[in-house]
Amino acid sequence: SMIGMTSLGYLHLFRLFDENPAVSPERIFTDTEQTHHSSQDVELMGFSFSFEFDFLGVFKMLDKHNIPRRAAERDGNAPLVFGGGPVLTANPEPYADFFDFIIVGEGEEIVEEIIQAYQEVRTATNRREKLVRLAQIEGVYVPSLYEPEYNPDYTIKAYRKAEEAPEKINKRYIKAYGESVYTPIITPKSVFSNMFMIETSRGCPKMCRFCIASYLTLPSRYPYLESVKQAIGLGLEHTGKLGFLGALITEHPDFEEICRYILEKRREKEFEISVSSLRVDKITPLIIQTLVKCGQKQTTIAVEAGSERLRKVINKNLKEEDIFKGVQIARENGLKGLKVYGMIGLPTETDEDIYALADLMIRLKKENKGFNLTLSVSSFVPKAQTPFQWEERPSNSTIEAKSAILRRELNTHKIIYKPTSVKWDYIQAILSRGDRRLSALLEKVYEFGGTIGSWNRAYKVLSYENIPDYDWYALRKRPHNEVLPWDIIDTGISRETLIKSSRY
């Protein structure tokens, strides 16, 4: 999609393909009408998969190019369709039937290897031969070489794998990460129009138990200070807007130094900067002054839970006084407001914790008069590859009831309350821990228009196909010994370690 145009990972990989003389890549977006090549000329078609619902765009594009949606139905002439990104690295299985191969982990180093391997088998008429060769690359997953078998109780019995296929797929990551990644191409049409993006951190060392940014992108790494400065200089030659990306940019060991450099540049030229969120206990006057000087009026902090007890359960080690201090520094140094992220439906949570979150917001509001506070709340989605992957998700009605408490409490204190859609979070939870039996369902959802209603319709149409119901995927607590769909992916953290980390 167009936002794909501004997805830095996608742009960076495009640049790497483009720099290779053996390849002539072309960008296509799922939300525009342009079609360039006829699919006859295309040999490889790749998709960046950042959100669970990106499958809708993938289907749209395949249909438009007359490429069968399912890998098993593509013949020798069809392009090899591949995908990558955080969703496919965590749990590729709900989407596995639609891809010839999947890149697991970070793509930078793998691009060269894929091009080289593909050149070796490019003329092979047998599609499987091409895929078997690609499967030898570390971090390449070829779903057709692995066949899940199921138990009568719907759980997975085992994966039958072809003998040419590796036992497990190892997640790739860049060991020598030090150069900052930044926007290679600026397009006037992209969503963050003309913003030059600079990656300031990769991964997050805080290890909150629900969070994929910590567990999926281990180890957490930071680009060299000089590299970030260089990227800032380059960005300012082309644009007046810089965006700093990373799960936790304030963890960069030289973040204050980066701020000083930005302020120095700001004296030479007017420009804006944008950062997605700050760790509240890392907020300093210098950081806020830098944001304010460069046109940012508000930023985001995440408290996740209102009580210190529940924050400990999820490993979000934030003390209440640090939250108050951070908000005070933000206000005193010129920010107009803060968006506070919270989460409901977490393991061990009671209504007491919900009241504690409302109370925290009310006290923050009292101590910071005239300061805009918004509470944005999502509901807990157990994510594959995190210590909470086995946890139960409460029912939608339970979550709605908790949300109603927050709305009622905050309304009376004029604090803006923005919950995410519980129904969409529920669907995300189906996909997050789903398996290949969802394939037919995803196609039906797409054919019915991709709305909430289309999920109910799709299930009714397919219920005779012997697939578990939605609650089985979205809500169920998994025993530690269950074979999980994503066990085939090795992220470098053992099941034992995840189980140990899941104890609260």
Burial 185-203 (b: 16+ CB within 10 A, else e): ebeeebeeeebbbbbbbbb
In the prediction, which pLDDT does 279 show?
Answer: 92
In the prediction, which pLDDT does 15 show?
Answer: 67
Q: What is the spatial distance between Cα 118 and Cα 25, in angstroms, rounded to a whole number?
A: 14
Say yes or no: domain 175-276 is CATH 3.30.750.210.
yes
Residues 6+ apart with CB under 8 A from 410: 358, 361, 362, 375, 416, 417
Q: pLDDT confidence of 31, banded at 50, 70, 90?
A: low
* Average pLDDT score over residue span 370-379: 96
In the prediction, which pLDDT does 10 show?
Answer: 57
* Average pLDDT score over residue span 5-14: 58
Look up the pTM and report it. 0.91
Q: In which residue ranges of the chain is CATH 3.30.750.200 found?
A: 292-429
* Average pLDDT score over residue span 28-41: 57
Q: Between 209 and 68, name the one with better pLDDT.
A: 68
CB 446 within 8 A of CB 55: yes
Query: CA separation (Å) from 458 to 86, 98, 150, 430, 502?
Result: 26, 18, 22, 14, 34
In the prediction, which pLDDT does 67 show?
Answer: 94
CATH fold of 292-429: Transcription Regulator spoIIAA (3.30.750)
Q: What is the spatial distance between Cα 232 and Cα 244, in angstroms, rounded to a whole number?
A: 10
Q: pLDDT confidence of 372, banded at 50, 70, 90?
A: very high
pLDDT tens digits, 416-445:
999 999 999 999 999 999 999 999 999 999
Region of 99 (left: φ > 0; alpha: ψ -120 to 50; beta: rest) is beta
In the prediction, which pLDDT does 178 show?
Answer: 65
pLDDT tens digits, 242-280:
999 887 888 889 999 999 999 999 999 999 999 988 999
Half-sphere CA count of 86, side-chain side, radius 13 A: 23
Weakest mean pLDDT among 9-13, 209-213, 312-316: 9-13
pLDDT tens digits, 137-167:
999 999 999 999 999 999 999 999 999 999 9
Q: What percent of the chain has pLDDT over 70?
A: 89
Residues 6+ apart with CB under 8 A from 249: 200, 201, 255, 275, 276, 278
Q: pLDDT confidence of 33, banded at 50, 70, 90?
A: low
* Average pLDDT score over residue span 361-380: 96
φ/ψ (deg, to 5) at 181:
-95, 135
Q: pLDDT confidence of 110, banded at 50, 70, 90?
A: confident
In the prediction, which pLDDT does 3 show?
Answer: 31
Q: pLDDT confidence of 330, banded at 50, 70, 90?
A: very high
Q: What is the spatial distance between Cα 161 and Cα 147, in angstroms, rounded to a whole number?
A: 6
* Average pLDDT score over residue span 298-310: 94
Q: pLDDT confidence of 112, banded at 50, 70, 90?
A: confident
Q: pLDDT confidence of 216, banded at 50, 70, 90?
A: confident
Q: pLDDT confidence of 4, banded at 50, 70, 90?
A: very low
Of the candidates 203, 245, 199, the one whose C-alpha atom is nearest the C-alpha of residue 220 is: 203
* Average pLDDT score over residue span 229-239: 90
Of the candidates 72, 22, 70, 29, the one whose C-alpha atom is nearest the C-alpha of residue 43 is: 22
In the prediction, which pLDDT does 182 show?
Answer: 67
In the prediction, which pLDDT does 6 show?
Answer: 43
Average pLDDT, the chain: 89
Q: What is the spatial distance between Cα 134 and Cα 105, in angstroms, rounded to a whole number?
A: 15
